Amino acid sequence: MNREVEVVVTGVGAVTCHGAGADTLWRAMTAAGTRLPDRPADPLARMDLPFIGLVPDPDLAADRATRFASLATAEALADAGLDAAALATARTAVVLGSCMGEPGANERGRGDDGAWTPPFRLAGALATELGLFGTVHDIGNACAAGAYALGIAADLVRAGVADVVIAGGSDAYSRVALGCFNRLGAVDPERCRPFEADRDGTVFAEGAGILVVESAAHARARGVTTGDGRGVLRLSAVAWSCDADHPTAPRADGEQIVRAMREAVGGAADDIGCVVPHGTGTRLNDVMESRALHRVLGARAARVPLYSLKALLGHAGGASAALAAVAAALILRHGTVPPNVPLKEQDPECAVALPQGEPVPLPAGARRVLVNAYGFGGNNASVVLAGSADAVGLRAGKGGVPV
């Protein structure tokens, strides 16, 4: 592993309940509107609160997670300026996170045809579609899976195993997942409302977020510069930890999520200009994360703007951290933090800054965005994306010339 290898993000793609495309996501972020969850057209979803933010795609029986990943990947590759020929000549890996994999065929079947397909086949399906022969990984670290995928992508690049990694996450409607959260009593009857005083759980959503991760050297060699409008970013750090405590609840002292955040932020907490929190809307998580942010950012924690993505989309499970990283990339590219979906009343136990009404500019000296992700089993991960031309050694007008 060579930690001196610079890792960059050269393309992003997204599919959400607001539609396909990172631009569609950005428009939804800047509009800050309230979207109520959908009820899936599934007669077997017999539960009190069958709520989810569905991607506008009516076929619930199809391989939805694979389609979402494929669509987001096509956008990310185009954004990065990579086509099939370029991927074929590079060492290209695929790493995708997901809570449920591809649950459609197994959950909609009734077992009478004897057929069963492995649910975690997203990365393999995507590699097959693209004709790739490099490393392929599906990551199942619960709702932190997308962040773990980014960490493994960075490690593959730094280890010299891959030049390019298609990394991110995808999750689709799952009757089992919704049923489990209903049985846990962890579904908000209104919508996903992180940091609200009267929030009562989370609400799931479908979606996929994909990032093209590659070495800065490879990006330079193929002529990527900061002057071509792609908004190249640095994947500054990914850190992870495990609570080793409770199967569903975060550890009470928050020590391990603080550790992951500190390792990701490093010694430059003052450079964090925005946080995209995990922020599920569950009572324990939001309070724990707010307190942890104060331990990591110090007095600035009450002023550093948070962008609460799940208030806009709902909780996209294993795709949520990847979508949060896409949102962070868009914030860095545009240089502003969009207004949050308006809160009725913020929980006084969550003393964090959630700008509403107007966007907040990212300070010139704080162009790093921290993304947090936490999952069942105590899976914690924090990612830092940085936006700086000089930081990645890609300067305008130097196409194809290492600098």
DSSP secondary structure letter of residue 342: P
The owner of tokens 């017999």 is 46
Give the N- to C-terminal CA distance of the chain in Å, as an integer.
Answer: 23
- Give residue 208's Cα distance to chain centre: 8
State yes or no: is 143 an active-site residue: yes
SS3 state at 229: coil
The CB density around residue 397, as the number of other CB atoms within 10 Å, is 8
Q: Which amino acid is it at 200?
A: D
SS3 of 57, please? Answer: coil
Residue 357 Cα to chain centre, angstroms: 24
* Nearest CA-CA partner of 151 in 22, 44, 238: 238
Rounded Cα distance, 60 and 271, in Å: 43
- Pick the catalytic residue: 17, 99, 143, 192? 143
The structure tokens listed for 51 are: 């709520």
Q: Which of 18, 192, 278, 350 is catalytic?
A: 278
CA 131, 235, 219, 10 dihedral sign is positive
Residue from 17, 274, 315, 350 carrying the catalytic annotation: 315
Residues annotated catalytic, as ranges: 143, 278, 315
